[in-house]
Amino acid sequence: MLLLNGPNLGVLGRREPEIYGTDTLADIEAAVTEEVRAQGWEVLSVQHDGEGDLVGAIHRHGESTVGAIVNPGALMMAGWSLRDALASHALPWVEVHLSNVWAREQFRHESVIARWRAGS
């Protein structure tokens, strides 16, 4: 299972804890690892602040994983190359966020990542 985390998620735990909580990325990775281990899967965790690095990770690991959990961070609003990389692989994946983005600022209400998954 590919666990893909985008920009600024490497500083979880100290980044705006009133919004994102106090769990670190390592805490989240451990929780996901424990959860998917029950399915017999291993987790490959990748976090980059640059979109190109995330795209490269998808191309490198997209064919060798059972799926992906993707927290694109701010790339949900502008990550067109990330969107295209996810679309280019048949692996199942899910987009997740740590906060309720639809209860926050208007500019966070539409994900370019999710758009293609909905048949658009």
C-alpha–C-alpha distance, residues 59 and 19, integer Å:
31
Which one of 20, 48, 61, 89 is the catalytic residue? 20
Q: What is the largest CA-CA distance in the chain?
A: 40
Residue 21 Ramachandran class (φ > 0 left, ψ -120 to 50 alpha, else beta):
left
Q: Is 20 a catalytic residue?
A: yes
Which one of 48, 61, 89, 97 is the catalytic residue? 97
CA atoms within 13 Å, Cβ hemisphere of 100: 2
For the record, the structure tokens of 79 come out as 């990550």
Q: Please, what sign has the CA dihedral across residues 107, 109, 113, 118?
A: negative
H or E stretch covering 51: helix 51-61
Q: Is 59 a catalytic residue?
A: no
Active site residues: 20, 97
